[in-house]
Homo-oligomer: A and B are copies of this chain.
Amino acid sequence: MEYADGKVKDLQIAYIGGGSRGWAWTFMTDLAMDEELSGTIRLYDIDAEAAKHNEIIGNRLSAREDVVGKWNYTVSDSLQSALTGADFIVISILPGTFDEMAVDVHMPERLGIYQSVGDTAGPGGAMRALRTIPMYVEIAQAIRAYAPKAWVINYTNPMSLCVKTLYYVFPEIKAFGCCHEVFGTQKVLKGILEETMGLKDVKREDIQVNVLGINHFTWFDYASYKGIDLFPIYRKYTEEHKEDGYKEADKNWANSTFECAHIVKFDLFRKYGLIAAAGDRHLVEFMPGVGDSYLKDPETVKRWKFGLTTVDWRKKDLQERLAKSARLAAGEEEIELKPTGEEGIQLIKALCGLTRKISNVNIPNTGHQIANLPESAVVETNAVFERDAIRPLYAGELPEQIKELVDPHVANHERILKAAILCDFDLVVEAFLEDPQVKGRASREQVEELVRDMLRSTAKYLPEGWKKYL
Protein backbone atom coordinates (compact mmCIF):
# COMPACT_ATOMS: atom_id res chain seq x y z
CA MET A 1 0.00 0.00 0.00
CA GLU A 2 1.10 3.49 -0.63
CA TYR A 3 -0.11 6.70 0.99
CA ALA A 4 -0.02 10.04 -0.77
CA ASP A 5 -2.09 13.20 -0.62
CA GLY A 6 -4.86 11.82 1.47
CA LYS A 7 -5.30 8.66 -0.58
CA VAL A 8 -4.08 5.09 -0.34
CA LYS A 9 -3.26 3.22 -3.49
CA ASP A 10 -2.32 -0.37 -4.20
CA LEU A 11 -3.90 -1.67 -1.02
CA GLN A 12 -3.77 -5.47 -0.89
CA ILE A 13 -6.77 -7.06 0.79
CA ALA A 14 -7.06 -10.81 1.17
CA TYR A 15 -10.65 -11.93 1.57
CA ILE A 16 -10.98 -15.39 3.10
CA GLY A 17 -14.43 -16.66 2.35
CA GLY A 18 -14.43 -14.45 -0.70
CA GLY A 19 -17.00 -16.62 -2.47
CA SER A 20 -19.74 -15.31 -0.21
CA ARG A 21 -23.10 -14.48 -1.75
CA GLY A 22 -24.07 -11.64 0.50
CA TRP A 23 -21.54 -9.94 2.67
CA ALA A 24 -19.02 -9.86 -0.20
CA TRP A 25 -21.38 -7.63 -2.16
CA THR A 26 -21.84 -5.34 0.81
CA PHE A 27 -18.10 -4.99 1.01
CA MET A 28 -17.80 -4.36 -2.74
CA THR A 29 -20.49 -1.71 -2.54
CA ASP A 30 -18.74 0.22 0.20
CA LEU A 31 -15.41 -0.02 -1.60
CA ALA A 32 -16.98 1.16 -4.80
CA MET A 33 -18.31 4.31 -3.18
CA ASP A 34 -15.07 5.44 -1.55
CA GLU A 35 -12.60 7.27 -3.70
CA GLU A 36 -9.75 7.41 -1.23
CA LEU A 37 -8.85 3.73 -1.44
CA SER A 38 -7.85 1.49 -4.31
CA GLY A 39 -5.96 -1.71 -4.87
CA THR A 40 -6.53 -5.42 -5.15
CA ILE A 41 -9.00 -7.77 -3.49
CA ARG A 42 -7.68 -11.32 -3.41
CA LEU A 43 -10.66 -13.63 -3.14
CA TYR A 44 -9.96 -16.94 -1.46
CA ASP A 45 -12.61 -19.58 -0.88
CA ILE A 46 -12.70 -23.35 -0.60
CA ASP A 47 -15.52 -23.00 -3.11
CA ALA A 48 -13.27 -21.74 -5.92
CA GLU A 49 -16.13 -21.28 -8.30
CA ALA A 50 -17.96 -19.00 -5.94
CA ALA A 51 -14.82 -16.91 -5.64
CA LYS A 52 -14.57 -16.78 -9.39
CA HIS A 53 -18.12 -15.49 -9.60
CA ASN A 54 -17.29 -12.71 -7.20
CA GLU A 55 -14.18 -11.86 -9.15
CA ILE A 56 -16.37 -11.28 -12.17
CA ILE A 57 -18.97 -9.36 -10.17
CA GLY A 58 -16.32 -7.23 -8.50
CA ASN A 59 -14.45 -6.33 -11.64
CA ARG A 60 -17.69 -5.62 -13.46
CA LEU A 61 -18.62 -3.23 -10.67
CA SER A 62 -15.21 -1.55 -10.72
CA ALA A 63 -15.55 -0.93 -14.40
CA ARG A 64 -18.74 1.04 -13.98
CA GLU A 65 -18.49 4.75 -14.59
CA ASP A 66 -20.47 5.72 -11.55
CA VAL A 67 -18.03 3.84 -9.35
CA VAL A 68 -15.29 5.99 -7.78
CA GLY A 69 -13.50 3.30 -5.80
CA LYS A 70 -11.57 1.24 -8.32
CA TRP A 71 -10.43 -2.22 -7.35
CA ASN A 72 -8.95 -5.17 -9.04
CA TYR A 73 -10.59 -8.44 -7.99
CA THR A 74 -8.60 -11.67 -8.35
CA VAL A 75 -9.02 -15.22 -7.15
CA SER A 76 -6.23 -16.70 -5.03
CA ASP A 77 -5.91 -20.44 -5.17
CA SER A 78 -4.21 -20.89 -1.81
CA LEU A 79 -4.09 -19.25 1.56
CA GLN A 80 -0.41 -18.68 0.99
CA SER A 81 -0.89 -16.75 -2.22
CA ALA A 82 -3.85 -14.82 -0.83
CA LEU A 83 -1.95 -13.75 2.27
CA THR A 84 1.56 -13.10 1.04
CA GLY A 85 1.93 -9.35 0.74
CA ALA A 86 -1.55 -8.58 2.05
CA ASP A 87 -2.07 -5.36 4.05
CA PHE A 88 -5.49 -6.42 5.31
CA ILE A 89 -7.15 -9.77 5.70
CA VAL A 90 -10.91 -10.06 5.89
CA ILE A 91 -12.35 -13.34 7.16
CA SER A 92 -16.00 -14.16 6.68
CA ILE A 93 -16.67 -17.85 6.31
CA LEU A 94 -19.44 -20.34 6.90
CA PRO A 95 -18.10 -23.33 8.84
CA GLY A 96 -19.94 -26.25 7.31
CA THR A 97 -23.21 -25.93 5.46
CA PHE A 98 -26.77 -25.20 6.44
CA ASP A 99 -27.18 -28.91 7.07
CA GLU A 100 -24.74 -28.63 9.94
CA MET A 101 -26.43 -25.45 11.06
CA ALA A 102 -29.74 -27.30 11.13
CA VAL A 103 -28.18 -29.69 13.64
CA ASP A 104 -26.82 -26.74 15.68
CA VAL A 105 -30.14 -24.96 15.84
CA HIS A 106 -32.77 -27.66 15.88
CA MET A 107 -31.40 -30.82 17.46
CA PRO A 108 -31.38 -29.32 20.98
CA GLU A 109 -35.11 -28.72 20.66
CA ARG A 110 -35.59 -32.32 21.76
CA LEU A 111 -34.61 -31.14 25.24
CA GLY A 112 -36.89 -28.13 24.96
CA ILE A 113 -34.02 -25.83 24.11
CA TYR A 114 -35.06 -23.38 21.41
CA GLN A 115 -32.46 -21.16 19.81
CA SER A 116 -33.28 -17.97 17.99
CA VAL A 117 -29.95 -17.81 16.16
CA GLY A 118 -27.80 -20.70 17.31
CA ASP A 119 -24.45 -19.38 16.12
CA THR A 120 -22.96 -17.76 19.22
CA ALA A 121 -23.88 -19.20 22.59
CA GLY A 122 -25.94 -22.24 23.52
CA PRO A 123 -25.52 -25.73 22.06
CA GLY A 124 -25.57 -24.35 18.54
CA GLY A 125 -22.84 -21.82 19.20
CA ALA A 126 -20.67 -24.48 20.83
CA MET A 127 -21.03 -26.96 17.96
CA ARG A 128 -20.41 -24.29 15.37
CA ALA A 129 -17.28 -23.33 17.31
CA LEU A 130 -16.02 -26.91 17.22
CA ARG A 131 -16.15 -26.78 13.44
CA THR A 132 -14.77 -23.25 13.18
CA ILE A 133 -11.84 -23.30 15.58
CA PRO A 134 -9.74 -25.84 13.65
CA MET A 135 -10.13 -23.70 10.54
CA TYR A 136 -9.08 -20.63 12.49
CA VAL A 137 -6.06 -22.45 13.89
CA GLU A 138 -4.98 -23.08 10.32
CA ILE A 139 -5.75 -19.53 9.22
CA ALA A 140 -3.82 -18.08 12.15
CA GLN A 141 -0.83 -20.28 11.36
CA ALA A 142 -0.96 -19.15 7.76
CA ILE A 143 -1.15 -15.48 8.77
CA ARG A 144 1.80 -15.96 11.11
CA ALA A 145 3.77 -17.52 8.27
CA TYR A 146 2.77 -15.30 5.34
CA ALA A 147 1.38 -11.98 6.60
CA PRO A 148 2.29 -11.46 10.23
CA LYS A 149 2.01 -7.66 10.03
CA ALA A 150 -1.33 -7.51 8.24
CA TRP A 151 -4.50 -6.30 9.93
CA VAL A 152 -7.08 -9.03 10.24
CA ILE A 153 -10.81 -8.27 10.33
CA ASN A 154 -13.10 -11.06 11.39
CA TYR A 155 -16.80 -11.22 10.57
CA THR A 156 -17.38 -14.93 11.21
CA ASN A 157 -19.42 -16.22 14.15
CA PRO A 158 -19.01 -17.27 16.85
CA MET A 159 -17.13 -13.95 16.94
CA SER A 160 -15.52 -14.18 20.39
CA LEU A 161 -14.17 -17.66 19.77
CA CYS A 162 -12.88 -16.86 16.29
CA VAL A 163 -10.94 -13.88 17.63
CA LYS A 164 -9.82 -15.86 20.66
CA THR A 165 -8.46 -18.64 18.47
CA LEU A 166 -6.51 -16.23 16.29
CA TYR A 167 -4.81 -14.70 19.33
CA TYR A 168 -4.28 -18.10 20.96
CA VAL A 169 -2.31 -19.40 18.00
CA PHE A 170 -0.54 -16.16 17.15
CA PRO A 171 -0.56 -13.71 20.08
CA GLU A 172 1.10 -10.94 18.06
CA ILE A 173 -1.64 -10.98 15.45
CA LYS A 174 -3.28 -7.62 14.67
CA ALA A 175 -6.82 -8.97 14.54
CA PHE A 176 -10.20 -7.63 15.55
CA GLY A 177 -13.81 -8.57 15.09
CA CYS A 178 -16.61 -6.40 13.73
CA CYS A 179 -20.31 -6.78 14.34
CA HIS A 180 -23.15 -4.39 13.60
CA GLU A 181 -25.48 -5.23 16.48
CA VAL A 182 -24.33 -2.15 18.38
CA PHE A 183 -25.23 0.00 15.38
CA GLY A 184 -28.70 -1.49 15.46
CA THR A 185 -29.19 -0.39 19.03
CA GLN A 186 -27.80 3.04 18.27
CA LYS A 187 -30.48 3.24 15.58
CA VAL A 188 -33.14 2.34 18.13
CA LEU A 189 -31.90 5.17 20.34
CA LYS A 190 -31.82 7.53 17.40
CA GLY A 191 -35.39 6.57 16.53
CA ILE A 192 -36.62 7.03 20.08
CA LEU A 193 -34.86 10.37 20.28
CA GLU A 194 -36.40 11.59 17.06
CA GLU A 195 -39.83 10.26 18.02
CA THR A 196 -39.91 11.75 21.49
CA MET A 197 -37.97 14.98 21.07
CA GLY A 198 -39.08 15.92 17.62
CA LEU A 199 -35.55 15.98 16.29
CA LYS A 200 -34.82 15.15 12.68
CA ASP A 201 -32.01 13.47 10.83
CA VAL A 202 -30.06 12.46 13.89
CA LYS A 203 -27.07 10.51 12.65
CA ARG A 204 -26.52 7.03 14.02
CA GLU A 205 -22.84 7.80 14.65
CA ASP A 206 -23.75 10.79 16.78
CA ILE A 207 -25.46 8.55 19.31
CA GLN A 208 -22.39 8.26 21.50
CA VAL A 209 -22.30 5.21 23.68
CA ASN A 210 -19.99 3.43 26.05
CA VAL A 211 -19.97 -0.20 24.99
CA LEU A 212 -19.09 -3.03 27.31
CA GLY A 213 -19.68 -6.74 27.24
CA ILE A 214 -19.05 -9.61 24.88
CA ASN A 215 -20.18 -9.94 21.29
CA HIS A 216 -23.96 -10.19 20.89
CA PHE A 217 -24.30 -9.53 24.62
CA THR A 218 -23.00 -5.97 24.81
CA TRP A 219 -24.36 -3.20 26.98
CA PHE A 220 -24.37 0.59 27.10
CA ASP A 221 -23.93 2.23 30.47
CA TYR A 222 -23.85 5.61 28.77
CA ALA A 223 -25.66 7.05 25.78
CA SER A 224 -25.65 10.67 24.72
CA TYR A 225 -26.63 12.78 21.82
CA LYS A 226 -24.70 16.04 21.87
CA GLY A 227 -25.62 17.70 25.18
CA ILE A 228 -28.46 15.27 25.90
CA ASP A 229 -28.32 12.30 28.23
CA LEU A 230 -30.33 9.54 26.56
CA PHE A 231 -30.83 7.43 29.66
CA PRO A 232 -33.84 9.29 31.10
CA ILE A 233 -35.39 9.40 27.65
CA TYR A 234 -34.87 5.69 27.15
CA ARG A 235 -36.19 4.93 30.63
CA LYS A 236 -39.40 6.81 30.01
CA TYR A 237 -39.85 5.21 26.60
CA THR A 238 -39.32 1.68 27.86
CA GLU A 239 -41.88 2.23 30.57
CA GLU A 240 -44.45 3.54 28.15
CA HIS A 241 -43.75 0.92 25.50
CA LYS A 242 -43.03 -2.18 27.50
CA GLU A 243 -45.69 -4.05 25.54
CA ASP A 244 -45.50 -2.70 22.01
CA GLY A 245 -41.79 -1.97 21.97
CA TYR A 246 -40.06 0.17 19.38
CA LYS A 247 -40.91 -0.25 15.73
CA GLU A 248 -38.37 0.75 13.15
CA ALA A 249 -39.79 2.68 10.26
CA ASP A 250 -38.97 0.12 7.60
CA LYS A 251 -38.99 -3.03 9.63
CA ASN A 252 -41.53 -5.32 11.17
CA TRP A 253 -40.55 -8.07 13.52
CA ALA A 254 -43.56 -10.15 12.60
CA ASN A 255 -42.56 -10.28 8.93
CA SER A 256 -38.95 -11.09 9.36
CA THR A 257 -36.90 -13.78 10.90
CA PHE A 258 -34.27 -11.18 11.83
CA GLU A 259 -36.33 -8.42 13.37
CA CYS A 260 -37.70 -7.80 16.83
CA ALA A 261 -39.82 -5.33 18.74
CA HIS A 262 -37.03 -4.68 21.26
CA ILE A 263 -39.21 -5.47 24.26
CA VAL A 264 -36.69 -7.99 25.55
CA LYS A 265 -34.20 -5.13 25.51
CA PHE A 266 -36.68 -2.93 27.36
CA ASP A 267 -37.28 -5.63 29.91
CA LEU A 268 -33.55 -6.08 30.49
CA PHE A 269 -33.26 -2.34 31.08
CA ARG A 270 -35.90 -2.52 33.75
CA LYS A 271 -34.10 -5.42 35.43
CA TYR A 272 -30.46 -4.38 35.08
CA GLY A 273 -30.43 -0.64 34.45
CA LEU A 274 -28.23 -0.76 31.34
CA ILE A 275 -29.19 -0.74 27.68
CA ALA A 276 -28.60 -4.14 26.12
CA ALA A 277 -27.01 -3.51 22.76
CA ALA A 278 -27.80 -6.35 20.40
CA GLY A 279 -30.87 -7.66 18.69
CA ASP A 280 -33.30 -9.40 21.03
CA ARG A 281 -32.75 -12.66 19.14
CA HIS A 282 -29.14 -12.62 20.26
CA LEU A 283 -29.69 -11.32 23.78
CA VAL A 284 -32.12 -14.04 24.77
CA GLU A 285 -29.61 -16.78 23.99
CA PHE A 286 -27.29 -15.50 26.73
CA MET A 287 -29.90 -15.39 29.46
CA PRO A 288 -30.77 -18.24 31.84
CA GLY A 289 -32.96 -20.95 30.40
CA VAL A 290 -34.69 -21.76 33.65
CA GLY A 291 -37.20 -19.45 35.28
CA ASP A 292 -38.68 -16.70 33.14
CA SER A 293 -36.69 -17.54 30.06
CA TYR A 294 -37.47 -15.51 26.99
CA LEU A 295 -36.85 -18.70 25.02
CA LYS A 296 -39.00 -21.03 27.06
CA ASP A 297 -41.04 -22.20 24.08
CA PRO A 298 -42.29 -20.84 20.75
CA GLU A 299 -45.32 -19.26 22.42
CA THR A 300 -43.13 -17.32 24.82
CA VAL A 301 -40.96 -16.23 21.94
CA LYS A 302 -44.01 -14.92 20.14
CA ARG A 303 -45.10 -13.01 23.23
CA TRP A 304 -41.69 -11.33 23.38
CA LYS A 305 -42.01 -10.46 19.71
CA PHE A 306 -38.84 -11.75 18.18
CA GLY A 307 -38.26 -14.54 15.70
CA LEU A 308 -36.64 -17.96 15.76
CA THR A 309 -34.43 -17.99 12.70
CA THR A 310 -35.18 -21.31 11.09
CA VAL A 311 -32.58 -22.99 8.99
CA ASP A 312 -35.22 -23.70 6.38
CA TRP A 313 -35.57 -20.00 5.94
CA ARG A 314 -31.81 -19.70 5.58
CA LYS A 315 -31.74 -22.41 2.94
CA LYS A 316 -34.44 -20.72 0.95
CA ASP A 317 -32.67 -17.41 1.31
CA LEU A 318 -29.47 -18.97 0.01
CA GLN A 319 -31.25 -20.14 -3.13
CA GLU A 320 -32.28 -16.59 -3.79
CA ARG A 321 -28.80 -15.34 -3.26
CA LEU A 322 -27.37 -17.96 -5.58
CA ALA A 323 -29.74 -16.82 -8.26
CA LYS A 324 -28.78 -13.24 -7.64
CA SER A 325 -25.12 -14.18 -7.88
CA ALA A 326 -25.70 -15.70 -11.28
CA ARG A 327 -27.53 -12.58 -12.43
CA LEU A 328 -24.82 -10.28 -11.13
CA ALA A 329 -22.06 -12.31 -12.76
CA ALA A 330 -23.98 -12.40 -15.99
CA GLY A 331 -24.53 -8.68 -15.86
CA GLU A 332 -28.31 -9.18 -15.69
CA GLU A 333 -28.46 -7.25 -12.48
CA GLU A 334 -26.37 -4.42 -11.10
CA ILE A 335 -25.20 -3.82 -7.56
CA GLU A 336 -26.99 -0.82 -6.13
CA LEU A 337 -24.66 1.91 -4.89
CA LYS A 338 -26.26 2.65 -1.53
CA PRO A 339 -24.30 3.02 1.71
CA THR A 340 -24.62 -0.21 3.64
CA GLY A 341 -24.18 1.14 7.12
CA GLU A 342 -21.23 -1.13 7.78
CA GLU A 343 -18.10 0.50 9.21
CA GLY A 344 -15.58 -1.97 7.82
CA ILE A 345 -14.26 0.37 5.13
CA GLN A 346 -14.16 3.24 7.59
CA LEU A 347 -12.01 1.17 9.91
CA ILE A 348 -9.66 0.18 7.11
CA LYS A 349 -9.32 3.84 6.21
CA ALA A 350 -8.57 4.76 9.78
CA LEU A 351 -5.93 2.03 9.99
CA CYS A 352 -4.42 3.47 6.81
CA GLY A 353 -4.23 6.85 8.55
CA LEU A 354 -6.91 8.59 6.46
CA THR A 355 -9.16 9.26 9.45
CA ARG A 356 -9.30 8.67 13.16
CA LYS A 357 -12.37 6.82 14.29
CA ILE A 358 -13.97 5.55 17.47
CA SER A 359 -15.92 2.35 17.01
CA ASN A 360 -16.82 -0.81 18.87
CA VAL A 361 -14.56 -3.78 18.37
CA ASN A 362 -13.98 -7.35 19.57
CA ILE A 363 -10.46 -7.96 20.86
CA PRO A 364 -8.86 -9.62 23.87
CA ASN A 365 -9.19 -7.68 27.10
CA THR A 366 -5.43 -7.20 27.35
CA GLY A 367 -5.78 -3.46 27.85
CA HIS A 368 -8.08 -4.15 30.81
CA GLN A 369 -10.68 -2.23 28.85
CA ILE A 370 -13.30 -3.99 30.97
CA ALA A 371 -11.78 -3.83 34.41
CA ASN A 372 -13.59 -6.76 35.97
CA LEU A 373 -13.20 -9.33 33.22
CA PRO A 374 -10.04 -11.41 32.79
CA GLU A 375 -7.36 -10.29 30.35
CA SER A 376 -7.84 -13.40 28.28
CA ALA A 377 -11.52 -12.74 27.58
CA VAL A 378 -12.43 -11.41 24.14
CA VAL A 379 -14.60 -8.38 24.85
CA GLU A 380 -16.49 -5.79 22.86
CA THR A 381 -15.82 -2.16 23.72
CA ASN A 382 -15.04 1.07 21.96
CA ALA A 383 -11.59 1.70 20.59
CA VAL A 384 -9.82 4.42 18.71
CA PHE A 385 -8.71 3.38 15.24
CA GLU A 386 -5.80 5.31 13.79
CA ARG A 387 -2.89 4.65 11.43
CA ASP A 388 -1.72 1.10 12.10
CA ALA A 389 -3.15 1.10 15.62
CA ILE A 390 -6.23 0.17 17.60
CA ARG A 391 -6.36 1.58 21.12
CA PRO A 392 -9.18 0.35 23.34
CA LEU A 393 -10.93 2.91 25.52
CA TYR A 394 -11.29 2.19 29.18
CA ALA A 395 -14.90 1.05 29.39
CA GLY A 396 -15.07 0.62 33.16
CA GLU A 397 -16.63 -2.27 35.01
CA LEU A 398 -19.63 -4.40 34.25
CA PRO A 399 -22.21 -3.98 37.02
CA GLU A 400 -22.09 -7.00 39.32
CA GLN A 401 -25.45 -8.41 38.22
CA ILE A 402 -24.58 -8.24 34.54
CA LYS A 403 -21.15 -9.63 35.18
CA GLU A 404 -22.85 -12.68 36.65
CA LEU A 405 -24.68 -13.13 33.36
CA VAL A 406 -21.52 -12.65 31.31
CA ASP A 407 -19.17 -14.81 33.40
CA PRO A 408 -20.46 -18.25 32.35
CA HIS A 409 -20.08 -17.31 28.69
CA VAL A 410 -16.53 -16.07 29.19
CA ALA A 411 -15.72 -19.31 31.01
CA ASN A 412 -17.30 -21.32 28.21
CA HIS A 413 -15.16 -19.57 25.62
CA GLU A 414 -12.08 -20.91 27.41
CA ARG A 415 -13.64 -24.32 27.70
CA ILE A 416 -14.78 -24.61 24.11
CA LEU A 417 -11.47 -23.44 22.69
CA LYS A 418 -9.78 -26.09 24.79
CA ALA A 419 -12.35 -28.72 23.84
CA ALA A 420 -11.87 -27.94 20.16
CA ILE A 421 -8.10 -28.17 20.13
CA LEU A 422 -7.96 -31.24 22.39
CA CYS A 423 -11.03 -32.88 20.80
CA ASP A 424 -12.23 -33.38 24.35
CA PHE A 425 -15.76 -34.74 24.65
CA ASP A 426 -16.12 -34.16 28.39
CA LEU A 427 -15.26 -30.49 28.00
CA VAL A 428 -18.02 -30.11 25.44
CA VAL A 429 -20.45 -31.74 27.82
CA GLU A 430 -19.27 -29.42 30.58
CA ALA A 431 -19.66 -26.43 28.28
CA PHE A 432 -23.22 -27.44 27.47
CA LEU A 433 -24.03 -27.99 31.14
CA GLU A 434 -22.62 -24.59 32.08
CA ASP A 435 -24.39 -22.76 29.28
CA PRO A 436 -27.22 -20.73 30.84
CA GLN A 437 -29.70 -21.95 28.26
CA VAL A 438 -28.96 -25.57 29.20
CA LYS A 439 -28.09 -25.28 32.88
CA GLY A 440 -30.71 -26.87 35.06
CA ARG A 441 -32.80 -28.06 32.12
CA ALA A 442 -31.28 -31.43 31.30
CA SER A 443 -29.42 -34.22 33.04
CA ARG A 444 -25.78 -34.97 32.35
CA GLU A 445 -26.85 -38.15 30.59
CA GLN A 446 -29.23 -36.30 28.31
CA VAL A 447 -26.56 -33.77 27.51
CA GLU A 448 -23.97 -36.44 26.82
CA GLU A 449 -26.34 -38.08 24.40
CA LEU A 450 -27.16 -34.77 22.73
CA VAL A 451 -23.48 -33.88 22.36
CA ARG A 452 -22.73 -37.26 20.89
CA ASP A 453 -25.59 -37.01 18.41
CA MET A 454 -24.67 -33.49 17.40
CA LEU A 455 -21.03 -34.45 16.89
CA ARG A 456 -22.05 -37.46 14.89
CA SER A 457 -24.39 -35.46 12.68
CA THR A 458 -21.76 -32.84 11.89
CA ALA A 459 -18.76 -35.13 11.81
CA LYS A 460 -18.01 -34.36 8.20
CA TYR A 461 -16.72 -30.94 9.23
CA LEU A 462 -14.93 -32.01 12.40
CA PRO A 463 -11.31 -33.13 12.91
CA GLU A 464 -10.31 -36.79 13.14
CA GLY A 465 -9.77 -36.54 16.87
CA TRP A 466 -13.50 -36.69 17.55
CA LYS A 467 -13.89 -40.06 15.88
CA LYS A 468 -13.05 -41.97 19.02
CA TYR A 469 -16.18 -40.71 20.76
CA LEU A 470 -18.62 -41.34 17.91
Contact = CB atoms under 8 A, between A and B. Distances in A.
Given A208-B387, A392-B394, A424-B141, A356 B358 contact: yes
A187 B112 CA distance: 53
A324 interface: no
A89 to B, nearest CB: 18
Given A421-B422, A422-B169, A426-B144, A224 B387 contact: yes
A222 B389 CA distance: 9
A393 B395 contact: no
A330 interface: no
Interface string A214-236: 00000000101111110000000
A169 B430 CA distance: 13
A391 interface: yes
A13 interface: no
Nearest to A421: B421
A168 to B, nearest CB: 7
Contact of A354 (B226, B382, B387): B226
Interface string A99-114: 0000000000000000
A137 interface: yes
B395 A145 contact: no
Interface in A339-378: 352-354, 356, 358, 367-369, 371
- Copy number in this complex? 4
A228 B424 contact: no
A169 B421 CA distance: 11
A373 to B, nearest CB: 13
A386 B384 CA distance: 14
A40 interface: no
A296 interface: no
Interface residues of A, number: 46
Contacts of A3: 226-228
A38 to B, nearest CB: 14
A8 interface: yes
A146 to B, nearest CB: 11
Given A356-B208, A356-B358, A426-B144, A229 B394 contact: no
A411 B347 CA distance: 33
A210 interface: yes
A198 interface: no
A468 to B, nearest CB: 11
Nearest to A137: B422
Given A145-B426, A226-B387, A392-B393, 8 more contacts: A137-B422, A169-B424, A208-B356, A227-B387, A368-B368, A391-B393, A421-B421, A421-B422
Given A389-B222, A393-B394, A358 B384 contact: yes
12 contacts: A3-B228, A6-B226, A141-B424, A208-B356, A210-B389, A210-B391, A227-B353, A358-B384, A368-B368, A368-B371, A368-B394, A392-B394
